Structure 1
Amino acid sequence: MPKIKSITEAGRPPSNLQGFESTYQRLGEPYQDGYEEGYLRGRASKIISQPPEIFSMRQLHILFVSSGKGYPYSPIDEAITTTLHSLVTEVTVINAGTSIAEATAQISPDLVLILDGTYVDTEEIDNVREQGVLTAVWLTDDPYYSDLSITKVRHYDYVFTLELNCVRLYKQLGCEQVYYLPFGVHTEHYQPHSVQVASTLKRDVRFIGSAYWNRIHFLHPILPHLMKYNTSFNGIWWDRLPEFPIYQHKIELGKWMGPVETAAAYNASKIVINLHRSHEDDTVNKNSNNIAAASPNPRTFEISACGTLQLSDERDDLARFYEPGKEIVTYSSPQDLLEKIEFYLTHEKERQEIALAALERTYRDHSYSIRVNELLSIVFS
């Protein structure tokens, strides 16, 4: 029996198979995409089904003062409030602007915990301390608004900052109890979806965030190449891009996305870019001491919690939280970013393994339960 040549050996399909190859490609590629996505979501589901670390319930009454700033701070208010309810026996929540001293006098809490503190009168904090109640502030925007925080931190018993480089500054101001405590992820908001996402949401590359000038300058040189993929941007100020009229159909401008919608977008992306804002942007920052930013932003944990590959710019303290090359991919220049995007879009296994490793690390080490329990352990050691 003569040997039958394969399609490859023949150079072209036989006449009775004309069109077979192209039809296979049209049908096979979606099938392969579905298989790969199903594999990713199956493994992700197993990771998040592992029982989380359980912390002992503390016999404490916490008065939590929310930021009072609305979105995008309100999801953090919600995350901390929900977490506190799972860790202490009693929680009272009031908004910044309410008399904290009066509330303290009425309920006699064990701790007054304030998020951000921008709208809190320091006289109120002094009054609370005079009542013999402990006070703590968890600062949200270090080092970008450190000019504001340095006027307030000395009024608290405990200062928690999400920026490593601000610890020394506050200690130099005379604060005795200063601790580095980055935000975590609220897993009720950010998690991998168990079902395949809608095709209309799917993107190869996605960026969600405001178009600070450092982001514009960084992405501008590679934008034409980046936009060759199924890429989208979401956030304010992206009309600063010189090419905005060309790419505006790929840019959702001016829309604030809530955590549920953001998580859905992360789930629908193969790669999410994280590019931190600059500590030197005088147009929006209040950082006259020019304190450099070393710590990862909250978005770092939120992207990883969705089981999506994150490409992040390098930060000095990033490796404390995720191992580069294994749990996160970092880039050092626009060209480096572009090359890594091209690589991971064509290396599915490598992309998925890093995304899953980041997911596992996030659920194990970076939840709000872990962060808030650490805060309580410090105050009530």
Structure 2
Amino acid sequence: MQLIFNFRKGFTPLKEGLEACGCTVFDNLWEPSEAQLKETDACIINFYEGVRQPWRIWRLKTKLKRHGIPLIGIDRDAPWHLGVRRRRLWLFSLLRPLDIYATHTLQPTLTFAPKIVYQANAAWARHYHLHGITLEEMRRPDFFRHDVSFVGNLDSQRYREHRARAEFFAELGHRLSSIGINCLFKHAEDLPINEQVEIIQRSRINLNAGAAADHGGERSWGLPERCYGVPACGGFLLSDERRHARDDFEPGTEWADFHNLEDCVDRIHHYLAHPGEARAIAEAAHLRVMRDHTYERRAESLIRAIREWRENPAPKIGR
């Protein structure tokens, strides 16, 4: 299968997944020739970029349509699309150039395509894996250096969408440190991936709280990449509640979450006191992620959607 893959800043994990599935991928081909279009099976774009340049997308769509090529938008910013003016979203919904809208959350929003598919984030398995450490080693109490950790964007000055997260971790760190719980909350910018993995693996509890796709007090249903990357490395993840967690993991055996700050503190106390329970969840989640939630699996899902569309391009709503 040959694909046009238009992501201005790239989306390397998914591109590698598609290539691992045998696809030939052409990056940022906005003006394909007739010869190129004759060999193309589908065009995948960054939805966020498409909304910002609708007329460019419309010109591309016109060319694709002549050759029966589906246009697919990957949306990792739904449902609020912070930073995009609402009228742009309305225009894109009105024009509806997409044939398939692949989104990390099925929360209600405007309709952007006749076919909707759930396209969750995933683990980038080239980087996020066990790195020679065994799950058995991670059962030892002396294996860990940190009780609780978080590695991610904590720069609330530069990234306003992470202000609530930064405030959450500031208060949580104060509460936990005051009772002798060892915390490491680290801003991830410029932190090498191997150091991120080491922190994940050497922490008894890895937290997820907040996401760029959240808005005010309302969370996105979708799971951030961290929710797959931490288990991929063998780490135990304790996350804020996410609606789609039940679609991707088995609650209680592959997934642990908390409701608010108070509940987070309580759950941390619980899992520090019951390390065997935490490790059982971590190991089950690791197996689930490596089986079902890598970017190669996401690529397989997209390829199936493309083939289904090409077999029956008639508009339909589905998951």
Normalising TM by the smaller chain, what interval?
0.7 to 0.9
2:71 maps to 1:138: no
Q: Which residue is 1:63 aligned to?
A: 4
Do 1:190 and 1:263's aligned partners in 2 also have CA atoms closer than 8 Å? yes
Alignment of 1:117-266 (within 5 A): 117-118=48-49, 121-132=56-67, 133-145=69-81, 147=86, 151-152=91-92, 154-166=96-108, 169-170=110-111, 175-195=113-133, 202-211=145-154, 212-227=162-177, 228-235=180-187, 255-257=189-191, 259-266=193-200
Highest CA radius of gyration, 1 or 2?
Answer: 1
State the number of aligned residues: 280
Deviation at 1:114, TM superposition (A): 1.7
Residue equivalent to 1:43: none
Q: For 2:31, what is the secondary structure of its paired residue?
A: helix
Contact 1:191–1:306 under 8 Å retained in 2? yes
Q: For residue 193 of structure 1, report the CA deviation from its aligned partner.
A: 2.9
TM-superposed CA distance for 1:217, in Å, is 4.2
- Structure scoring higher RCO (CA < 8 A, sep ≥ 6) equals 2
Separation in 2, partners of 1:158, 1:122: 14
Measure the CA separation in 2 of the matches of 1:365 and 1:150.
Answer: 34
The structure-2 alpha-carbon separation of the partners of 1:292 and 1:358, relative to structure 1 and needing over 3 Å to count, comes to: closer
Normalised to the residue count of structure 1, the TM-score between the two structures is: 0.65
What CA deviation, in whole Å up to 9, does each residue of 1:257-292 have, x standing for no partner? 3544433321222211101237334xxxxxxxx986
Q: 1:209 to 1:103 in 2, by over 3 A?
A: farther
Would the aligned equivalents of 1:142 and 1:162 in 2 still touch at CA under 8 Å? yes
When the two structures are superposed, what TM-score results if normalisation uses the length of structure 2?
Answer: 0.77
Shift of 1:232: 1.3
Aligned-pair RMSD on alpha carbons? 2.9
- Secondary structure of 2:239's counterpart equals strand
Deviation at 1:164, TM superposition (A): 1.1
Question: Structure 1: which 4+ aligned runs deviate by more than 6 Å?
Answer: none
- Cα distance in 1 for partners of 2:210, 2:289 equals 19
**Superposition deviation, residue 359 in structure 1:** 0.4
Aligned 8 A contact 2:200 2:230 in 1:
yes
For residues 90 and 203 of structure 2, the distance between their equivalents in structure 1, rounded to whole angstroms, comes to: 39
Amino acid at match of 2:168: F
| Aligned-partner Cα distance in 1 for 2:36–2:172 | 58
Contact 1:100 1:128 in 2 (8 A): no
1:86 is matched with 20
SS in 1 for 2:110: helix
Q: Distance in 1 between matches of 2:18 and 2:276?
A: 38
The 1:371–1:203 alpha-carbon spacing in structure 2 relative to 1, beyond 3 Å, is same
Q: Residues of 1 paired with 2:219 and 2:234: CA distance?
A: 30
The residue identity in structure 2 corresponding to 1:101 is E
Residues 143, 292 of structure 1: 8 Å contact kept: no
Distance in 2 of aligned mates of 1:159 and 1:333:
32
Give the whole-Å Cα distance in 2 for the aligned partners of 1:92 and 1:321: 27
Secondary structure class of the residue paired with 1:215: helix
Shift of the 352–291 alpha-carbon distance from structure 1 to 2, 3 Å rule, reads: closer
* Aligned twin of 2:313: none
Deviations 1:294-353 (A, max 9, x none): 222222111111111111111222111122221121111212211221222232212211
CA contact (8 A) 2:206 2:235 kept: yes
Change (3 A) 1:104 1:260: farther
Offset at 1:182? 0.8
Cα distance, 1:127 vs. partner?
Answer: 3.4
**Structure 2 unmatched runs, 5+:** 155-161, 309-319
- Structure 1 counterpart of 2:124, which letter? H
One-letter amino acid of the structure 1 residue matched with residue 30 of structure 2 = I
How far apart in 1 are the matches of 2:225 and 2:36? Answer: 34
**Contact 1:117/1:139, CA 8 A, preserved across alignment:** yes
* Residue pair 2:206, 2:236 contacting (<8 A) in 1 also: yes
**Distance of 2:221 and 2:258 partners within structure 1:** 15
Kindly tell me: are residues 233 and 258 of structure 1, through their superposed partners in 2, closer, same or farther at Cα, counting changes over 3 Å?
Answer: same
Which has the higher mean CA deviation after the structures are superposed, 311-320 or 107-116?
Answer: 107-116
Question: Could you tell me how far apart the structure 2 residues matched to 1:261 and 1:123 are?
Answer: 43
Written as runs of structure 1 = structure 2, the 5 A alignment for 1:1-381 is 60-65=1-6, 67-69=7-9, 74=10, 77-88=11-22, 90-95=23-28, 99-102=29-32, 105-106=35-36, 108-118=39-49, 121-132=56-67, 133-145=69-81, 147=86, 151-152=91-92, 154-166=96-108, 169-170=110-111, 175-195=113-133, 202-211=145-154, 212-227=162-177, 228-235=180-187, 255-257=189-191, 259-277=193-211, 279-281=214-216, 293-381=220-308
Q: Provide closer, same or farther for how the CA distance between residues 335 and 291 of structure 1 changes in structure 2, counting only shifts above 3 A.
A: closer
